Structure 1
Amino acid sequence: MNGDLNVPLFDMVMCLSDAMDLVSPIVTGHHKRVAYIASSIAAELGISKEDEKDLIIAGALHDVGAFSLSERIDSLNWDLSQEILQETEVFTASPDYRYIGSVSHAELGYCLIKKFSPFAKIANIVRYHHVAWNQGRGKCFKGREVPLGSHILNLADAIDILIDKEREIIGQSKLISEKIIEKKGNSFKPELVDAFVSLAQKEAFWFNIVSSTIDRTLSKRVQGVNIELNPASLLSLANLFSQIIDFRSRFTATHSSGVAASAEALAKLIGLSDLKCQQIKIAGYLHDLGKLAVPPEILNKDTKLTKNEFNVIKKHPFYTYQILDRVKGLDQIKTWASYHHERIDGRGYPFHAKGEEIPIEARIMAVADVFTAITEDRPYRQGMNLKRATNILEEMASDGALDPKIVLILKDNLVKIDRFRIEAQARKAKDYEHFWEEVQQY
């Protein structure tokens, strides 16, 4: 990849939607189906293409605040959906690992994504997507206006939940429509239900919901209003991705930021271009994206993993590659991010790349990942001191795991690189602390 790096925002949103689907087969495809249903209702109402695009992105991300499988399944339980803003949830990924609060996954999603400027408007749609219409009282929630998009998303969410994915779709359409009509005025805004009932007469509407080409349909709908991310915007979005990844485990809550900082520092010392250094930092934020496929009980285990558990862990770089593979412009970054467990001698995983098959940027990522993992503090143990960490890295280089030249550069600049890592992880820990403080206000 030469020259400037420009990546379509929509591709990155679909990438994150795919990643969230890894949590469980139960939720696979839910976000995209909700995005399609919401955009179809919006089009039926004559809403602008720009607002329709925002709804597609909001639909694709609406459950981003649900960090565990149980929360994801609760968010798919329509019977609970009207009380979800009052439900009590426990989050053990907060900075002090003890926070218990009463807050919905919708509020958490809002707090997560609002800091990324292209998502500012979308964040509000996500925030209120479980607010019922309640005979018009749902126009506001706690004194704040609820966007029309939130009510559309609430309806779209319910429609998808009512679909039995194991049965033929058209045969269900009448019953689904009847159930939605029953809630007209109470759960759902009447004009939105009317728009849905009109759509429900069209077989194509239902076929598209369960079509394997739903990605292509959504992509066509954002044509002309999709934006491209420059390197700085992509870095900001990758940082958001890392928060979503790291929030799932209290043991590695700032890990990706440490890897990103260490990898960037090594890349600069090796003399790579400014653009490549920025790309390596992005790869550092994204390298554990596939860990969304690993159950929290394995991620959070503080004792030795069983053979079967380690086999599950081995999936994560493979899924990182697969998820990023769909994004135009990330051809190199996906390799650098997903090769961080490959070894120079070919005995790594999951691709068993070796020697020159592993680009220098991926070798940097591997060293940065090990260095961060063994030196960072975790709730169940203190990080290694620099002397012991250096010995481990040198042993791994001698054993054919890591590139000896990169390990030597790290050793020669050990204090400097460690300072970058510590500062980056401290900033991230502060960000998390601020996040949880903000969440507790609601």
Structure 2
Amino acid sequence: MSINVDLRQLVYALSDALDLVGVDDIAHGKRVGVMAAECAKAMQWPAAEVHFLFDLGLLHDIGVSSTATHQHLIAEFDWAGSQAHAETGYGLLKDFAPLARMALPVRYHHTRWDALLADRQLPLELARQANLILLADRVDAMAAPFFAGGQVLQHREPIRREIAARAGSYFAPELVEAFLAVSAHEAFWLNLESNALANYLADMLATAQPYQASNAELMQLATIFAQIVDAKSSFTHTHSLGVARVARRLAEHMGVSVDHCEKLEIAGLLHDLGKLRVPDAILEKPAPLDEDERLVMRSHSFETMQILKKVRGFEEIASWAADHHEAPSGLGYPHGLDGAKLALEARILRVADIFQAMVQDRPYRPGLSRQAVSHFMAELQGRNSIDASIGGVLQAHLDELIQLARASA
């Protein structure tokens, strides 16, 4: 496989998935990135460091997939459970070489400045990076309620006073001084509104050093985001990983090219990105969803497309992932495409998605037996809900695919 993808562009797109966790407020990471970058500029830090802090802001909450956790983080200035997601983020980033430099600042981005100085585990440079993200993060937690109504300028002074009062305790005095200097001007706050954010993101992408991603890096980054999605609910733990494995093996059995098999595996890892915007209560509900809940759930494949279509070189991957709930009968969603308009890879992904969900143990029920899942998939095939040729291959390799679907890692 050779996909011509700028890793930075992919990271920027995938940061949209992290922002979805806010549900009603979906730009937290971007605003933190802008504020951190603007403070770094005020302190005359090098351009490369400004770009790093912007990227760090985008990804600082990579350990958050729960809407409940996100609500705590924006509703309370400090929260006893805040360190858990920082540790999770550290674990996700530390072994991914292109982003490993972010791991320690992410780990400590909810640690107070006085605690960082007392502990002395972090080099001073990394401590400042982590603390600047904490400062920007807390500013956004206080400002977020006012963006929708266009009232943030009217509320900036109480926010500035709150940050100033915590200099030396929560925040490094030099960082507070830089924040107070840049936030005295309207442009600092107006840059955080939606249209300005999009322009700022485009400018940062245009001026940053491109990074050509290797095949292994693409797969590893996709796996990281699959873990974020799967961690959102105990009901779907390891689902994306299982779907990716089953989809690839089905494609191999059907003679799909190696290039497309590898792209399909990535699509499988990323197919449920949009679920990060689904509230925890819906994903965790151990009972049938009502009509409103079903509508919320059905939006996730459309959200996945909105994220992935921004990445040049991911056109096929984005299409296959977005179409994994379309059906040959034309009764799927979100577009109601019939089988003639669906790529083989999208049809394979649909089968893998349904099959993995049925055989995987869930907290509220055990996975279906071999006989039960065979019967269930045959019924779907009979109703033209899944592609008949793919269904036949699945039945022919049922034991192997069940083992792949149930593998925990």
1:372 aligns to 2:356 (yes or no): yes
Which whole-Å deviations, capped at 9, do the CAs of 1:47-92 have from their partners, x for residues lacking one?
2333222212221122232332232122124532xxx4xx148xxx
Which whole-Å deviations, capped at 9, do the CAs of 1:320-377 have from their partners, x for residues lacking one?
1122122222111111112111110101111100022100000110111111111122
In structure 2, the gaps of 5 or more residues are none
In structure 1, the gaps of 5 or more residues are 90-102, 428-442
Paired position in structure 1 for 2:195: 212
1:193 aligns to 2:173 (yes or no): no
Paired position in structure 2 for 1:129: 109
The 3 A distance-change label for structure 1 pair 366 and 202 is same
The 3 A distance-change label for structure 1 pair 153 and 287 is same
> Deviation of residue 263 (structure 1)?
0.4
* 1:257 counterpart (211, 234, 241): 241
Paired position in structure 2 for 1:281: 265
Paired position in structure 1 for 2:373: 389
In 2, are the aligned partners of 1:27 and 1:72 still within 8 Å (CA)? no
Write the distance in 1 (CA, Å) between the matches of 2:360 and 2:165: 54
1:158 aligns to 2:138 (yes or no): yes
> Deviation of residue 392 (structure 1)?
1.8
Write the distance in 1 (CA, Å) between the matches of 2:42 and 2:287: 55
Paired position in structure 2 for 1:304: 288
* 1:179 counterpart (149, 158, 162): 162
In 1, are the aligned partners of 2:359 and 2:368 still within 8 Å (CA)? yes
Paired position in structure 2 for 1:98: none
> Deviation of residue 247 (structure 1)?
0.6
Write the distance in 2 (CA, Å) between the matches of 1:130 and 1:111: 15
Matches within 5 A, 1:265-414: 265-414=249-398
> Deviation of residue 299 (structure 1)?
1.4
Write the distance in 2 (CA, Å) between the matches of 1:273 and 1:397: 25
Instruction: Report the residue type matching 1:420 in the other structure.
Output: L
Instruction: Report the residue type matching 1:205 in the other structure.
Output: F
Secondary structure of the residue aligned to 1:228 is coil
> Deviation of residue 233 (structure 1)?
1.0
Instruction: Report the residue type matching 2:219 in the other structure.
Output: L
Write the distance in 2 (CA, Å) between the matches of 1:376 and 1:79: 39
The 3 A distance-change label for structure 1 pair 173 and 251 is closer
The 3 A distance-change label for structure 1 pair 219 and 141 is farther
> Deviation of residue 307 (structure 1)?
2.7
Instruction: Report the residue type matching 2:94 in the other structure.
Output: K
The 3 A distance-change label for structure 1 pair 302 and 242 is same
Instruction: Report the residue type matching 2:73 in the other structure.
Output: S
Runs of 4+ displaced beyond 6 Å: none
Aligned length in residues: 403
Paired position in structure 2 for 1:63: 61
> Deviation of residue 140 (structure 1)?
5.2
More helix by share: 2
The 3 A distance-change label for structure 1 pair 342 and 198 is same
**TM-score, normalisation: structure 2:** 0.91
Deviates more, 1:169-178 or 1:317-326: 169-178
Paired position in structure 1 for 2:12: 14
Secondary structure of the residue aligned to 1:364 is helix
Paired position in structure 2 for 1:148: 128
Write the distance in 2 (CA, Å) between the matches of 1:152 and 1:142: 17
The 3 A distance-change label for structure 1 pair 203 and 19 is same
The 3 A distance-change label for structure 1 pair 79 and 384 is closer
Instruction: Report the residue type matching 1:299 in the other structure.
Output: L
The 3 A distance-change label for structure 1 pair 346 and 167 is closer
> Deviation of residue 420 (structure 1)?
3.0
Paired position in structure 1 for 2:30: 32
Deviates more, 1:107-116 or 1:274-283: 107-116
**TM-score, normalisation: structure 1:** 0.85
Deviates more, 1:313-322 or 1:142-151: 142-151
Instruction: Report the residue type matching 2:348 in the other structure.
Output: I
Secondary structure of the residue aligned to 2:385 is coil
Which whole-Å deviations, capped at 9, do the CAs of 1:366-414 have from their partners, x for residues lacking one?
1111111111222222222223222222221121111111111122222
In 2, are the aligned partners of 1:32 and 1:215 still within 8 Å (CA)? no
1:107 aligns to 2:87 (yes or no): yes
Paired position in structure 2 for 1:116: 96
> Deviation of residue 180 (structure 1)?
2.4
> Deviation of residue 190 (structure 1)?
1.7
Write the distance in 2 (CA, Å) between the matches of 1:205 and 1:328: 30
Paired position in structure 1 for 2:49: 51
In 1, are the aligned partners of 2:359 and 2:369 still within 8 Å (CA)? yes
In 1, are the aligned partners of 2:23 and 2:279 still within 8 Å (CA)? no
Secondary structure of the residue aligned to 2:328 is coil
> Deviation of residue 246 (structure 1)?
0.8
The 3 A distance-change label for structure 1 pair 307 and 180 is closer
> Deviation of residue 159 (structure 1)?
2.4
Paired position in structure 2 for 1:100: none
The 3 A distance-change label for structure 1 pair 228 and 147 is farther
Which whole-Å deviations, capped at 9, do the CAs of 1:209-251 have from their partners, x for residues lacking one?
2241313313322433242323221111111111111111111
The 3 A distance-change label for structure 1 pair 373 and 196 is same
Instruction: Report the residue type matching 1:153 in the other structure.
Output: I
